[in-house]
Amino acid sequence: MKDLQPSGLWQNFAKLTQIPRPSGKKEEISQFLFAYGKSLGLETLTDSIGNVLIRKPAYPGYEDHPGVILQGHMDMVPQKNSDKVFDFEKDPIEAYVEDNKQWVTANGTTLGADNGIGVATAMAILADKNVVHPPLEAFFTVDEETGMYGAFALEGGWLQGKTLLNLDSETEGELYMGCAGGVDTTATFRYVPVAVEEGDIAFRVRLSGCKGGHSGCDIHLQRANANKLLFRFLKEAVTNYEARLAKVEGGSLRNAIPREAEAIITVPADAYDDIMNLVDDFETLFVSEFEGVEDAISLTAEQVSCPKVEMPEDVQDFLIHAITVCPHGVYRMMVEMPDIVETSNNLAMIEFAEDGEEHVVRVYCLTRSAVESRKNELREVIHSAFSIAGADVEFSGDYPGWKPNINSPIMHKMKAIYEREFHAEPRIVIIHAGLECGIIGRNYPGMDMISFGPTIEHPHSPDERVNIATVQKFYDFLLATLKEL
């Protein structure tokens, strides 16, 4: 990446790829950014949770202009291909340039362009004494991807600027003036396992090869959910072949569409051929159903050592029925903007654990909506599905959406600047992903906000990549904007 332009931005991004920074591991990246601000001789602050704020004085002649905040988050989503040996808490990201210098991507893992490019951009502007700008603040938050904890911890009065430029969007040529809110649902099944029938055999059934992706930005692409597909198979195996469920797990992050899932099932010994044939039939079915969307779906089964215990039949059936009816994907599109998702749900993770004499299965969903009442409606649909099945259901991480302001001064100014600089009209949109703007705006009423960025494809998946040409265009746009604020 050393030869890419703008050089300061890409050099900073290269440094970020060398610092392990999955959500939850914030100390090293927070300390790095704090030290970076100090090394520039700038006022640098941090708070108890690890957020970092760096203040840069105005360019000469701009001292009396209202302050501007550049905002992004430090953490990245840790996702890797199943055959990739990688420790996100220790290993640097293996970033490289591909496709005739059109894209930067990573070797078998997420790249961290979400939101490393935004952070690197702010770092470059802080260091460049030739950039014309009003009083400037760079505000870097922690743990955005797992619950926006840094934004929630922001105290009133910490930020001084009046306009916030969020650098955490993923399509160049679009200006985001609103976003969805969200809420997490956790459904917990607790049970005392029962003994496996004597003479039964066991299989590990694995669904893999799905593309996954960002559960906000990519939810409308109709990609396969590994959890939903696996449970379609399990329902058939239980109903017609006397299968019993011993263990099940799938997905790894609340805000990523699950790419893989697997289960341990037991069946009578004489059902061996039936199960293997059923696996082949369902793999063929899934490949056919998702033709043109997915290109590597795989459903496999291998015989394994038989476990001693499994789920009671009633718990197994309730779990399967609940997963079957739990919504996943787009729930409703926006009436006033028909190409924008209004409400969706990601059936994100299924976790299995042993807790003393009990076993536990937890199911996690992330519901998003631009309309608070719709978010609550879908949340209650999910609550009903799992409550009827006997699960304990809890809600957490509820965060507000960012209500659009059609009279936003920064939106109208940046629209005019984009048209002048690039002779094209930017698209004004509401993003279905969650942005920190809604939370920040709640603590700072009246803050004028906009979000924009370069083109980043497939964030939250190992296919993540950032388009090189759009990074330069995004940076030029930001410089032109700062000059006029």
Q: What Cα–Cα distance (Å) separates residue 94 from each residue in 19, 22, 23, 304, 310?
A: 11, 15, 18, 35, 41
- The terminus-to-terminus CA distance of the chain in angstroms comes to 31
443 preceded by a cis bond (ω within 30 of 0)? no
What is the Cα–Cα distance from 331 to 351, expressed in whole angstroms? 24
Q: Could you count the other beta carbons within 10 Å of the beta carbon of residue 195?
A: 9
Which of 75, 172, 262, 464 is an active site residue?
A: 75
Cα separation of 189 and 393, whole Å?
9
Listed residue (311, 416, 400) closest to 354, CA to CA: 311
The one-character DSSP state at 477 is H
275 Cβ contact partners less than 8 Å away, ≥ 6 residues apart: 203, 237, 241, 243, 265, 267, 301
Tell me if residue 245 falls in helix, strand or coil: strand
For residue 144, the tally of other CB atoms under 10 A from its CB is 26
Q: Is 168 a catalytic residue?
A: no
Q: What are residue 248's DSSP bridge partners? A: 263
200: left (phi over 0), alpha (psi -120 to 50) or beta: beta
Tally: H helices and E strands in the chain? 11, 23
Separation of alpha carbons 448 and 153, rounded Å: 20
**Are 12 and 120 a contacting pair, CB within 8 Å?**
yes
DSSP string, 402-471: B---TT-HHHHHHHHHHHHHHSSPPEEEEESS--THHHHHHHSTT-EEEE----EESTTSTT-EEEHHHH
Q: Which of the residues 114, 137, 143, 144 is marked catalytic? A: 144
Count CA atoms closer than 13 A to 397's CA, side-chain side: 24
Determine the Cα–Cα distance for residues 477 and 483; give it in Å rounded to an integer. 10
d(CA 25, CA 152): 17
Query: How many residues does this entry show for the chain?
Result: 485
3-class secondary structure, 383: helix
Question: 35 φ, ψ to 5°?
Answer: -65, -35
Is 75 considered catalytic here?
A: yes
For the annotated catalytic residues, the residue numbers are 75, 144
